[in-house]
Amino acid sequence: MRAAGVVLISVALTCAVVGNAYYHKKQFYPSVVYITKSNPSMAIIYVQGLILVLMANTFLRKIFFGNLRAAEFEHLMEKLWYAVTETCLAFTVFRDDFSPKFVVLFTLLLFLKSFHWLAEDRVDFMERSPVITWLFHIRVASLLALLFSINLAMFNYAYNSTIAKGPSVQLVFGFEYALLITVVLNINIKYILHTIDLQRDSPWDNKPVYMLYTELIIGLMKVTLYIAFVAIMVRIYTLPLFAFRPMYFTMRNFKKAFHDIVMSRRAIRNMNTLYPNATPEELAAADNVCIICREEMVSASKKLPCNHIFHTSCLRSWFQRQQTCPTCRLNILRPTTTSQPSRQQQNQQPPPAPAAANPPPQSTPTPGAATQQAAPPPQFQIPTYWAHLTTPPTSQGLGNQQGQNSSTSQLPSGIVTGVPVFTHSFQPIIPLPPVPTPPPNLSNLTEEELRSMEGNLRAAVEARIETLQRVQLLLDAATAMMSQYQTAARSASINLPKSDTLLSQDDNKSTTSSMDNNRDSSSCISDFSMPSSTNGIADLRTSEVNEQLTPDSSSLLYSDRILRNNSLSSTPTPTPSTSSTGGIAPGELENLRQRRLVRDQSVD
């Protein structure tokens, strides 16, 4: 309404100005000269022009986007703000080029940019929207084609004018349009990927991979453009400060995409080569739901070293973000990177190292080795990824067990963070973890033996590394033992009636309690990921009949509507309702109000 008023006033003023000029001069040219000479007239003409452009913008937006969602509008405003401030910075470099033409070009650029942002939001929204209409496809496809050709034309224009007239502000425009071309490309690829995905009947496992590679390639193009632009600007003018913020973000995104690709490739390779497919029995034994997508696992599932099972495709997309087990956060990359060298080392036994660093295992029977011989190794010692690489240690000689030791205790992550075994079984007798051979007592070494560890020769370096590895083994064993003790202490205290925290979390399943095992349970105030107890709101329970306990997809939306109408208004005014779905029973608001009022009165 107000906008219409502004438009009307502006049009009226423009008519008055033009009419007045024509009335005075009677002819076209003199009138134009008259208007351009008069500052107030020119101001009105400029305002009119701006309003016309805004109207055209709104009109085009309506055609291509319809009504904007609230989130889209927020994004638009936020980005517009940055774009305007950065261009104001750019003005300072090109003070001399400032002219009405510049303003027009800049406004055009801004509008084109805003359409790019909106198009990107729209295309991203495809992933979230259940229904994509034909209108949507027509709009997006035509808009993308239009934007691409405009960008190309404007880039061409900027390029030609720079070649013809030497460097000017057209450099910035050319660069901006080149960037916009990459943006359109990116949106286009995403649009095609989403469209293909929507046409399919089954989930498209490779889509995240394509998305990630697209990001990498587009990122590379953008980074190259920015570097070229800054280089040119530095040579001709000065440091283009206005380009630094977007350049920083572009580079960061590129680095992240690169890092993600490298890491996820590694994790996926590990998954494919090292981790076994889950057998049907394993799937039947677990509760069979993939924690990532919350859907049943029927086939194509992988078992991680920590015994957690997921869909292979779900894991693949998760590994693009993080290379850990989603449930227990066991690092997927670490086990193989450490176990590979140790395996090699095992194969080369005995290494060409001198005796000093490699005492014969039989000669130093440590108490730990004795324990190990007596008791069978505890379950957690043999992570699955190792178990299928070597034969079980019990049937082998001591020397081999030493190797086995070293390989398992070299995997601190498997022991310290991979706690799945602790969560299920509270063993009555917890066997001690084995203690590996300690490093040789250095004072017992002969001069020759010590000397053999000096120098840069391969043998010397290997000897030193081996000594260090032994130290590491000791540390790992100590850590493992410590966590064993903790588990023992915890499993002992769980029988006491007063410590009910663990019991009350039983319904959270092993997923959360496995995290709990890693943590000092008492001192964690910043831990909100696990509410210690929910009985604070327990008396909200009202015994009303739940009419729609398991809504299927069709009644889902229906109950959703009820939910929204009854209780989800942002100003919670209590309404009489018939639906009882949800965690806050109907009338509960009124109850809470009454209770508070009663309390107030008693206080008074």
Partner 1 sequence: MAGSALRRLIAEYKQLMSNPPEGILAGPSTEENFFEWEALIVGPEGTCFEGGVFPAKLSFPADYPLSPPKMQFTCEMFHPNIYTDGRVCISILHAPGDDPMGYESSSERWSPVQSVEKILLSVVSMLAEPNDESGANVDAAKMWREDRKQFEKIADKLVRKSLGIPA
Site for partner 1 in 295-314 (CB under 8 A): 295, 314
Of 105-124, binders to partner 1 (CB under 8 A) are 124
DSSP string, 151-214: HHHHHHHHHHHHHHH-SSTHHHHHHHHHHHHHHHHHHHHHHHHHHHHHH-SS--TTHHHHHHHH
Q: Should residue 567 be labelled a site residue for partner 1 when binding is judged by CB under 8 A?
A: yes
Nearer Cβ to Zn ion (384/491): 384
Binding mask 273-312 for Zn ion (x = CB under 5 A): -----------------x-xx------------x-x--x-
What are the b/e assignments for 162-181, b being 16+ CB within 10 Å? beeeeebbbbbbbbbbbbbb
Q: Should residue 549 be labelled a site residue for partner 1 when binding is judged by CB under 8 A?
A: yes
Which one of residues 24, 37, 269, 321 is an interface residue with partner 1 (CB under 8 A)?
321
Which one of residues 37, 269, 451, 564 is an interface residue with partner 1 (CB under 8 A)?
564
Q: Should residue 333 be labelled a site residue for partner 1 when binding is judged by CB under 8 A?
A: no
Q: How far is the CB of 266 from Zn ion (least distance, A)?
A: 18
Among residues 395, 421, 543, 401, the alpha carbon closest in space to that of 480 is found at 421
H or E segment at 366? none
Which one of residues 95, 200, 235, 498 is an interface residue with partner 1 (CB under 8 A)?
200
Nearer Cβ to Zn ion (222/308): 308
Q: Which residue has the tokens 């990107």?
A: 120
In the chain, the N- to C-terminal Cα span, in Å, equals: 50
- Residue 570 binds which of Zn ion, partner 1, none (CB < 5-8 A, kind-dependent): partner 1
Nearer Cβ to partner 1 (291/355): 291
Which one of residues 374, 429, 538, 545 is an interface residue with partner 1 (CB under 8 A)?
538
Q: Should residue 294 be labelled a site residue for partner 1 when binding is judged by CB under 8 A?
A: yes
Q: Should residue 286 be labelled a site residue for partner 1 when binding is judged by CB under 8 A?
A: no
Q: Should residue 204 be labelled a site residue for partner 1 when binding is judged by CB under 8 A?
A: yes
Using DSSP's 3-state secondary structure scheme, residue 84 falls into helix
| 118 within 8 A of 63, measured Cβ to Cβ | no
- Residue 272 binds which of partner 1, Zn ion, none (CB < 5-8 A, kind-dependent): none
**What does residue 277 show for φ and ψ, rounded to 5 degrees?**
-70, 145
Q: Give, as one character, the DSSP assignment of residue 242.
A: G
Of 49-88, binders to partner 1 (CB under 8 A) are 69, 71
Using DSSP's 3-state secondary structure scheme, residue 301 falls into strand
| Burial grade of 349 (CB within 10 A; 0-12, 13-18, 19 or more) | exposed
- Tell me the CA distances in angstroms from 76 to 6, 107, 176, one per residue in order: 23, 15, 18
- Residue 428 binds which of Zn ion, partner 1, none (CB < 5-8 A, kind-dependent): none
- In angstroms, the CA 53 to CA 76 distance is 17
Of 577-596, binders to Zn ion (CB under 5 A) are none
The dihedral over CA atoms of 332, 337, 341, 347, expressed in degrees to the nearest 10, equals 30
Q: Give, as one character, the DSSP assignment of residue 331.
A: B
Q: Should residue 325 be labelled a site residue for Zn ion when binding is judged by CB under 5 A?
A: yes
- Residue 561 binds which of Zn ion, partner 1, none (CB < 5-8 A, kind-dependent): partner 1
- Residue 551 binds which of partner 1, Zn ion, none (CB < 5-8 A, kind-dependent): partner 1
Q: Should residue 314 be labelled a site residue for Zn ion when binding is judged by CB under 5 A?
A: yes
- Residue 537 binds which of partner 1, Zn ion, none (CB < 5-8 A, kind-dependent): partner 1
- In angstroms, the CA 276 to CA 172 distance is 55
Alpha helices in 275-397, H assignment, sequence order:
280-285, 312-319, 333-347, 367-374, 384-387
Number of residues that bind Zn ion (CB under 5 A): 11
- In angstroms, the CA 408 to CA 384 distance is 11
- In angstroms, the CA 434 to CA 380 distance is 12
Q: Should residue 577 be labelled a site residue for partner 1 when binding is judged by CB under 8 A?
A: no
Q: Should residue 190 be labelled a site residue for Zn ion when binding is judged by CB under 5 A?
A: no
Q: Should residue 20 be labelled a site residue for partner 1 when binding is judged by CB under 8 A?
A: no
- In angstroms, the CA 283 to CA 312 distance is 13
Q: Should residue 130 be labelled a site residue for partner 1 when binding is judged by CB under 8 A?
A: yes
- In angstroms, the CA 356 to CA 342 distance is 19
Select the span of 58-66, 381-389, 430-438, 551-559 touching partner 1 (CB under 8 A).
Answer: 551-559
For residue 47, give every residue at least 6 positions away whose Cβ sits within 8 Å of its Cβ, in sequence order, or none: 10, 13
Which one of residues 181, 328, 382, 562 is an interface residue with Zn ion (CB under 5 A)?
328
Among residues 313, 298, 239, 303, the alpha carbon closest in space to that of 277 is found at 303
Select the span of 8-16, 47-55, 225-233, 570-578 touching partner 1 (CB under 8 A).
Answer: 570-578
Of 471-530, binders to partner 1 (CB under 8 A) are 511-512, 515, 518-519, 525-530
Q: How far is the CB of 270 from partner 1 (least distance, A)?
A: 18
Which one of residues 534, 554, 601, 602 is an interface residue with partner 1 (CB under 8 A)?
534
Q: Should residue 18 be labelled a site residue for partner 1 when binding is judged by CB under 8 A?
A: no
- In angstroms, the CA 283 to CA 280 distance is 5
**What does residue 544 show for φ and ψ, rounded to 5 degrees?**
-100, 155
Nearer Cβ to partner 1 (502/563): 563
- Residue 531 binds which of partner 1, Zn ion, none (CB < 5-8 A, kind-dependent): partner 1
Q: How far is the CB of 569 from partner 1 (least distance, A)?
A: 8
Q: Should residue 334 be labelled a site residue for partner 1 when binding is judged by CB under 8 A?
A: no
Instruction: Kindly state the tokens that stand for 64.
Output: 């291509």
Nearer Cβ to partner 1 (400/486): 486
Q: Should residue 446 be labelled a site residue for partner 1 when binding is judged by CB under 8 A?
A: no
- Residue 540 binds which of partner 1, Zn ion, none (CB < 5-8 A, kind-dependent): partner 1
Amino acid 297 reads M
| 216 within 8 A of 254, measured Cβ to Cβ | yes
| 189 within 8 A of 119, measured Cβ to Cβ | no
Q: Should residue 129 be labelled a site residue for partner 1 when binding is judged by CB under 8 A?
A: yes
Q: Should residue 96 be labelled a site residue for partner 1 when binding is judged by CB under 8 A?
A: no
Which one of residues 47, 146, 432, 592 is an interface residue with partner 1 (CB under 8 A)?
592
Q: Which residues bind Zn ion (CB under 5 A)?
A: 290, 292-293, 306, 308, 311, 314, 325, 327-328, 330
